[in-house]
Amino acid sequence: MFDPLYLLLVLLPGLLISGGASYLVKSTFKKYSQVRSRNGYTGAQAAQKLLDNAGIHDVQVVRSHGYLSDHYNPTTKQLALSEPVYDSNSIAAVGVATHEAGHAIQHATAYGPLSWRSAIVPLAQFGSSAGYFAMFGGLLLMTASPALGRWVVLLGAVLFALMLLFQIITLPVEYNASARAKALVVESGIVYPDERKGIDKVLNAAALTYVAAAVSTALTLVYFLIRSGILGGDD
């Protein structure tokens, strides 16, 4: 059954926020992919230089497939860069690559929020799916047993909140990795100070996608709490 509240509170804001963030990332990356760094470092070379300067010699910089699929895996200690980043000497490529190197440096220096995020991953994955279905099922159950249904929704909300907690912890992890990259690319001589403006824009745009994800999750959680009467009284 169509619910106008879901449309107004979750669907439309989610599409606007997530779609806007995604568009900004792609358009900013595309713009600065056409701006070459004057020192000529490719994404792979820039990431490797930051790792070497930090004394990190057990992390391997590798290629990955997929558009903007760049990531650092602390389990395998692989810094995976997509082909448009690995081979390119653009400002955008250097920014993305050094951001991922920032994650590797976080791991090597035991940066607290990164450890917390890694620890909560299994719970967040379980809570994301199980919590959503529990909340949805709880609303259906309320038609037969309102009290029991609310308890099921509340249990689902607690599980679903684990995903929101993961996303909230992710924010300082991502912003810190970007802050490290922005400072180190200039300190390491990878780019000139005046070129950092482009790197800042690329990384700031990318950070908004994590904010958008957290907001969308929070709106979904609020919707179920309102519909169940747990938040704001009975519907």
pLDDT digits (tens, 9 = 90+) for 188-228: 999 999 999 999 999 999 999 999 999 999 999 999 999 99
Tell me what the mean pLDDT of segment 39-66 comes to.
96
Q: Has residue 232 been placed in a domain?
A: no
| DSSP structure class, residue 3 | -
| 152: nearest Cα among 137, 174, 172 | 137
| Host domain of residue 182 | 4-36+90-227
Q: Has residue 108 been placed in a domain?
A: yes
pLDDT above 70: residue 174:
yes
**How much of the chain exceeds pLDDT 70, in percent?**
98
Q: Tell me which H or E stretch contains 157.
A: helix 146-187
Q: Has residue 54 been placed in a domain?
A: no
Q: Measure Cα distances from 83 to 53, 67, 166, 195 in Å.
A: 24, 8, 28, 22
Q: Has residue 106 been placed in a domain?
A: yes
| DSSP structure class, residue 71 | E
- The dihedrals phi and psi of 65, each to the nearest 5 degrees, come to -95, 150
Q: What is the pTM of this model?
A: 0.91
Q: Has residue 100 been placed in a domain?
A: yes
Q: Has residue 177 been placed in a domain?
A: yes
Tally of structural domains, the chain: 1
Catalytic residue among 83, 100, 187, 195: 100
pLDDT above 90: residue 173:
yes
The verdict on whether 187 is a catalytic residue reads no
Question: What is the rounded distance in angstroms from the CA atom of residue 97 to the CA atom of residue 205?
Answer: 15
Contact by Cβ (8 Å): 71, 47: no
Q: Has residue 147 been placed in a domain?
A: yes
Query: Which tokens is 38 given?
Result: 């004057």
Please give the sequence-ordered ranges of beta strands (E in DSSP) within the chain, or none if there are none. Answer: 60-64, 71-73, 78-82
Q: Has residue 48 been placed in a domain?
A: no
Tell me what the mean pLDDT of segment 168-179 comes to.
97
| Cα three-residue angle 216-164-1, rounded to 5 degrees | 50
